[in-house]
Amino acid sequence: MIQINDLAPNFTADTSHGPINFYEFINGHWTVLFSHPKNFTPVCTTELGTLQKLLPEFKKRRVQVIGLSVDNLDNHDQWLNDIQETQGELPEYPLIADNNRQVSLLYGMVRDNAPDTMTVRTVFVIGPDKKVKLRLDYPASAGRNFDEILRVLDSLQITAEHQLATPANWKLGEDLIVTASVSDEQAQQRFPKSFHKIKPYLRTVAYSELIK
């Protein structure tokens, strides 16, 4: 099972945009890889349409997305047309055709002895360093909250750039937490206007100090 901070495995696959090498697709970007149990399923249909509507928000964060379904390319084309008809959006991002379950098994999205593909429903956030930063597993009945994925992406990018963490229920623009790797003196120097020491282990700064 792939865990957070593991190197994301490379693979080659056919997609709705043509063949890809996954490492070449990442190419120094933040990347979201999300899988679906099967084409022509109702929850997944709403998810792909919702993600397309939010695609400008992902692009704003320099994040590229790629989907996966365990069906062949011919089915992908027909399903994408259904998504456009029912959701009002035609997904512009690539969709992997994983009909041999190569990628699903490589990423632990479904176990080798699984009787069907309905356990394949996972989100991976992968950093520019090709390491897994987040893994989320969902049951087939629960549609994903892509606003939450955007929220976590904001948190991950802030941590990577500023050595800050985010508190419970944090939203973009709210106060941030100084990580243990940063001393009081370093934090005071970096964030002189808002550094606040509540407890030795709980120190905050204002998001506004990140805006240059």
| Annotated catalytic residue within 13, 26, 32, 44 | 44
Query: 12 — phi, psi (to 5°)?
Result: -115, 145
Number of independent structural domains in the chain: 2
What's the pLDDT at 37? 76
Q: What is the pLDDT of residues 96-147, one digit of tens each?
A: 999 888 999 899 887 656 556 555 689 999 999 999 999 999 888 889 999 9
Q: Which residue spans within the chain are E strands per DSSP?
A: 12-13, 20-21, 30-36, 63-69, 95-97, 122-126, 132-137, 164-165, 176-178, 196-199, 202-205
- Give yes or no for residue 202 having a pLDDT over 90: yes
Same domain, 123 and 171: no
What's the pLDDT at 136? 94
Q: What is the pLDDT of residues 14-69, one digit of tens each?
A: 999 999 999 999 999 999 999 987 778 889 999 999 999 999 999 999 999 999 98
Quick one: three-class SS letters along 110-121?
CCCCCCCCCCCC
Same domain, 35 and 137: yes
Residue 4 placed within a domain: no
Same domain, 139 and 175: no
The average pLDDT across 155-179 equals 96
Same domain, 56 and 87: yes
Same domain, 125 and 170: no
What's the pLDDT at 154? 97
- Domain encompassing residue 23: 12-144
What's the pLDDT at 119? 56
The average pLDDT across 179-196 equals 96
Same domain, 43 and 122: yes
Q: How many residues does the chain have?
A: 212
Residue 121 placed within a domain: yes
Same domain, 20 and 110: yes
Same domain, 136 and 192: no
Active site residue 44: yes
pTM score, two decimals? 0.92
**Token pair in block for residue 8:** 């994301």
Amino acid residing at 33: L
Read off the CATH number of the domain in which 121 is found. 3.40.30.10
